[in-house]
């Protein structure tokens, strides 16, 4: 009987919760060191923010001509908005990797095109 109690106590003690690193960013829109607008944010953190204003993401488009493009966009909690458009194959490849665990960062050229699109897909971007 003592062995059974010990085993039950050991199993009960082994259910301690362990969690990994958790991160995330709300939408931040700013000007980078070269004077270009930039936006960044983590999908999960933005979606679960306390406000109903901010969002960030990219939309993919396919046309009957066979061409493809994407628009990336972000709106901050203070309703500041920025977007960029790209047909660059490398940037489109990055946009296609976006998922609920994504951190998205993009920079906008003066003409509204995307200068760069970066995503980080990592476990610490989830709850």
Is it the case that residue 5 has pLDDT exceeding 70?
no
CA-CA distance, 83 to 92, in Å (whole number)? 15
Mean pLDDT of the chain: 87
Nearest of 40, 42, 54 to residue 102 by alpha carbon: 42
Tens of pLDDT, residue by residue over 79-97, are: 999 999 999 999 999 999 9
pTM metric for this prediction: 0.81
* pLDDT tens-digit map of 94-127: 999 999 989 999 999 999 999 999 999 988 888 7
Report d(CA 94, CA 51) in Å as an integer: 28
């Amino acid at each position: 009987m003592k062995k059974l109690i010990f085993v039950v106590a050991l199993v009960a003690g082994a259910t301690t919760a362990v969690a990994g690193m958790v991160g995330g960013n709300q939408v931040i829109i700013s000007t980078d060191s070269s004077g270009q607008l930039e936006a960044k944010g983590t999908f999960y953190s933005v979606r679960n923010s306390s406000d109903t204003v901010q969002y960030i993401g990219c939309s993919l488009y396919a046309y009957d001509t066979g061409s493809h493009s994407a628009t990336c966009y972000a709106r901050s909690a203070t309703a500041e908005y920025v977007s960029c458009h790209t047909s660059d194959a490398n940037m489109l490849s990055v946009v296609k990797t976006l998922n609920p665990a994504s951190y998205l960062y993009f920079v906008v050229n003066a003409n509204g095109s995307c200068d760069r699109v970066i995503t980080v897909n990592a476990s610490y971007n989830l709850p």
